[in-house]
Each structure stands twice: as structure tokens, then as C-alpha cells.
Amino acid sequence: MGGGLIATAGISHPGLLDERFGLIAMIRGELRSVGVQLAVCAAVFAATVIACRHHGGGIVEAHLGDTLRGLGTVGNYFRFVPVSSSPLLPAGANVPVPVGWNLPAILALGVLIAPGWRDAPALVTRGLLAVLLPLVALAIFFGQWSELRDYLEATPLLLMATYAGVRRIWSVAGSPN
């Protein structure tokens, strides 16, 4: 762990913003290493807060009221919006994109993931649960529940789980009867 402490200090600030930071160590059962990483992250975070104390705003914003209002509106579960303008698409695009906890999009993702769940590596299945569940819980209280960027840390694991599911679907569809 000796040289790892320097690396931990170097990447600790982004590590506070990313749950995957200690995920592999936690899955392997290396709790001492995770503890050291968390301590270094907390120290760097405290130093950042002290250095930026003169800036306005708080460390955390509570959005529970907004979340409850959004979850109470049935139309939000089926909302699609067109792609807005951006430097790559100055005029935007008339392509429907799911927003927030869009039930059709979540169900489609679930249908693709479910067949391969048992075949997926333990790192993917355990990691997805360990990353996605806290993100959803934190987004309810502190995030904008309808912004998909609140769940970006889970994207690589979602893609790997989806790959395992699609691979299983193709293997069943391609097997001779």
C-alpha cells in the first residue's frame, strides 16, 4: 500500500465525486485500503472546502421538495424531449430522448439486462448494485431526479450488464432447437 498512498492523494478529489473509487477494493474485501482512501479523500475535500470558503453557495443543495413534486406527476414517467441545440447540432434534432426516470426506457433497459444477469461477472452485478442504488438514493435528496447525469457513474456497469444480456439473448435466439 506504500506507493498507493501517493496515488490516492493525487486522485482523491475526483474520488470524492465518484463511487467507483474504492469499489474494486471493497469487492475484494480490502477494507483497510478503502479506509485509507476515504481518509485521504476526506482530508483533500476538507482542504478544498476551506480554500473555497469565500465563494457563495453551500456544499450540498437539498432538492427533496423538487423530487417529490416531480415524482408526483405521472407525465414525468413518460416524458421525451427532442435533442436541443448544441455545437455539434446547432439546429438540434427532432429525435425523442427519454428524460429522467422514464418508465419505457427503464423497462427496455431491464429487458435487455435481465437475461444475462446470472452470466455477467460478479464485478458487474455487484458493482452495478453498489453504484446505482446509492446514486438513486442520493439523487432523491440532493440531485435533480430527472437529470440522467446524476447516474453517469453507473453507465459503464450498465453497458456491461446490457452486453451480457444481449449476448444471452443472441445465444438463445441463435441456438438450434
Give the per-residue pLDDT at 17. Answer: 46
* 8 A C-beta contact, residue 158 and residue 116: no
Cα(73)–Cα(70) distance, rounded to whole angstroms?
5
- Provide the whole-model pTM: 0.63
Write out pLDDT tens, residues 98-135. 887 889 999 999 999 999 999 999 999 999 999 999 98
* 8 A C-beta contact, residue 44 and residue 155: no
Cα(148)–Cα(105) distance, rounded to whole angstroms?
12
For helices 103-113 and 155-174, give the axis angle rounded to 10 degrees. 60
Nearest residue to 157 (alpha-carbon basis) of 118, 134, 125: 125
Write out pLDDT tens, residues 4-16. 444 444 444 444 4
- pLDDT per position in the chain (177 positions), as tens? 444 444 444 444 444 444 555 555 555 566 667 677 778 878 888 888 888 778 776 667 778 888 888 888 888 889 888 888 888 888 888 888 888 788 999 999 999 999 999 999 999 999 999 999 998 888 888 887 777 788 888 999 999 999 999 999 999 877 776
Helices (H), 19-149: 23-28, 31-51, 64-71, 103-113, 122-142
How much helix, strand and coil, in percent to the nearest 5, is found in the chain?
A: 70, 5, 25
